[in-house]
């Protein structure tokens, strides 16, 4: 009993400490961006450039898209964040829940219709293509998989990872990619649900957070992920990496940002959103192998490192609004099927 009391007391102290530290970080910052992790989409470089160009200290934030939306909803009456970054379906949902504020940033007119909310509640800053991020050395001589079907082969048991589709946007995007490639659509997720059920036989690794480092280390030899992470690993970290767009097909997925409604620092939030769509801001994404929403900012020498366009022809766009509308339904069915 004494041990339990000490444990409860320790947990209480740690919770208070975490809260105090979180408040201290917020107070030391000029602005807060949710889901701006240094290890995802090279936000580490982008936030350093923002500090240099705008003079703003914006701390790293390791939430995923689902956690970001949950936090925005929890803080709706007392917002902490100024801007938020997330996969497109979460951005659309956030706008529908009333936690974003309309803002049309600089270069707004260069964002294609369909990749932005008409009023500016969310807008695309860059996009990626779902595929297989493969550490060739970690395969230990096994062939690089070339299709979704290949991942079901028992030779890859314990080698395949995908982020939890009930929490991380990239996990849900992977499910949409698999579903469409195997004959489903946004009204019928049976192909993806059946696929994930079969994949369980190969004991997949299913983390909730970005797992870039785990692929580089070889802990996860094959990860369902974006092209930009694979190219970064190959060309910047020098790892023996291949990126594969599966033979059956895949999807192109936008990532979006929003101004948070009633944020503490709205003017700084607006300037940050202006900057990520500026020539300099878009160039940071391009150098990190993301496709900037303003394609004229992609240097030819970077584009040359991508797979040929003939490979990308298998990756398609989807109805992103519909993708957002059916996300919760898919997540419930996924949990029901796999638990």
Q: Answer whether residue 11 is part of any domain.
A: no
User: What's the start-to-end Cα distance of the chain, in Å?
Assistant: 34
Q: Answer whether residue 103 is part of any domain.
A: yes
pLDDT on residue 28: 66
Q: Answer whether residue 259 is part of any domain.
A: yes
Q: Answer whether residue 32 is part of any domain.
A: yes
Together in a domain, 155 and 239? yes
Together in a domain, 315 and 193? yes
For residue 290, the domain's CATH number is 3.40.190.10
pTM of the model: 0.80
Query: What are the structure tokens assigned to 290, written together?
Result: 């993301």
Measured from the Cβ of residue 187, the count of other Cβ atoms closer than 10 Å reads 7
pLDDT on residue 148: 98
Q: Answer whether residue 112 is part of any domain.
A: yes
pLDDT on residue 232: 93
pLDDT on residue 31: 97
Together in a domain, 268 and 133? no
> Which residues of the chain carry a pLDDT beneath 50?
1-25
| Residues 295, 286: Cα–Cα separation, whole Å | 9
Host H or E run for residue 187: none
Q: Answer whether residue 205 is part of any domain.
A: yes
Q: How far is CA 336 from CA 183, 198, 332, 333, in A?
A: 21, 15, 6, 5
Query: What are the structure tokens assigned to 263, written together?
Result: 């944020």
Domains contained in the chain, number: 2
Task: Judge contact between 142 and 155, C-beta under 8 A.
Answer: yes
Nearest alpha carbon to residue 242 among 89, 136, 118, 126: 136
| Residues 226, 211: Cα–Cα separation, whole Å | 12
Q: Could you tell me whether strands 291-292 and 241-244 are parallel, antiparallel, or unpaired per DSSP bridges?
A: unpaired
Host H or E run for residue 195: helix 190-199
Over residues 110-165, the pLDDT tens digits come to 999 989 999 999 999 999 999 999 999 999 999 999 999 999 999 999 999 999 99
Q: Answer whether residue 4 is part of any domain.
A: no
Task: Judge contact between 86 and 65, C-beta under 8 A.
Answer: yes
Query: What are the structure tokens assigned to 13, written together?
Result: 């102290």
**Which structural domain, as residue segments, surrounds residue 216?**
128-252+310-338
Together in a domain, 103 and 49? yes
List phi, psi (to 5°) of 188. Answer: -145, 100
Together in a domain, 244 and 122? no
Together in a domain, 47 and 91? yes
Together in a domain, 209 and 325? yes
Together in a domain, 275 and 327? no
Together in a domain, 213 and 329? yes
Query: What are the structure tokens assigned to 250, written together?
Result: 């895949």
| Residues 90, 73: Cα–Cα separation, whole Å | 12
Together in a domain, 97 and 133? no
Q: How far is CA 312 from the centre of its chain?
A: 19
Q: Could you tell me whether strands 123-135 and 222-226 are parallel, antiparallel, or unpaired per DSSP bridges?
A: antiparallel
Together in a domain, 219 and 329? yes
Together in a domain, 230 and 327? yes
| Residues 128, 226: Cα–Cα separation, whole Å | 6
Secondary structure of the chain: what % helix, strand, coil (to 5)? 45, 15, 35
Q: Answer whether residue 332 is part of any domain.
A: yes
């Amino acid at each position: 009993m004494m041990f339990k009391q000490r444990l409860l007391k320790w947990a209480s102290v740690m919770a208070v400490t975490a809260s105090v530290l979180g408040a201290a970080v917020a107070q030391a910052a000029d602005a807060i961006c949710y889901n701006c992790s240094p290890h995802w989409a090279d936000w580490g470089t982008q936030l350093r450039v923002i500090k240099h160009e705008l003079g703003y200290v914006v701390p790293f934030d390791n939430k995923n898209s689902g956690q970001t939306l949950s936090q925005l909803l929890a803080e709706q009456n007392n917002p902490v964040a100024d801007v938020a970054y997330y996969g497109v379906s979460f951005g659309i949902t956030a706008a529908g829940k009333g936690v974003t504020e309309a803002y049309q940033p600089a270069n707004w007119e260069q964002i294609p219709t369909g990749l932005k909310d008409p009023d500016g509640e969310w807008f695309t800053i860059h996009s990626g293509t779902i595929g297989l991020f493969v550490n060739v050395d970690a395969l230990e001589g096994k062939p690089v998989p070339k299709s979704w079907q290949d991942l079901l082969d028992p030779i890859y048991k314990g080698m395949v990872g995908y982020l939890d589709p009930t929490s991380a946007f990239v996990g849900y995007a992977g499910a949409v990619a698999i579903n469409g490639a195997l004959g489903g659509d946004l009204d019928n997720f049976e192909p993806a649900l059946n696929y994930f059920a079969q994949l369980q036989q190969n004991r997949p690794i299913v983390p909730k957070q970005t797992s870039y480092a785990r692929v580089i280390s070889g802990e996860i030899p094959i990860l369902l992920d974006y092209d930009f992470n694979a190219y970064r690993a190959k060309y910047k970290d020098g790892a023996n990496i291949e990126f594969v767009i599966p033979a059956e097909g895949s999807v192109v997925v936008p990532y979006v940002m929003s101004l948070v409604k009633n944020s503490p620092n709205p003017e700084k939030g607006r300037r940050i959103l202006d900057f990520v769509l500026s020539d300099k801001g878009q160039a940071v994404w391009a150098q990190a192998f993301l496709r900037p929403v303003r394609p004229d900012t992609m240097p030819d020498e970077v584009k040359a490192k991508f797979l040929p366009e003939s490979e990308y022809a298998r990756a398609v766009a989807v109805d992103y609004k519909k993708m957002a509308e059916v996300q919760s339904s898919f997540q419930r069915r996924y949990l029901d099927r796999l638990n």
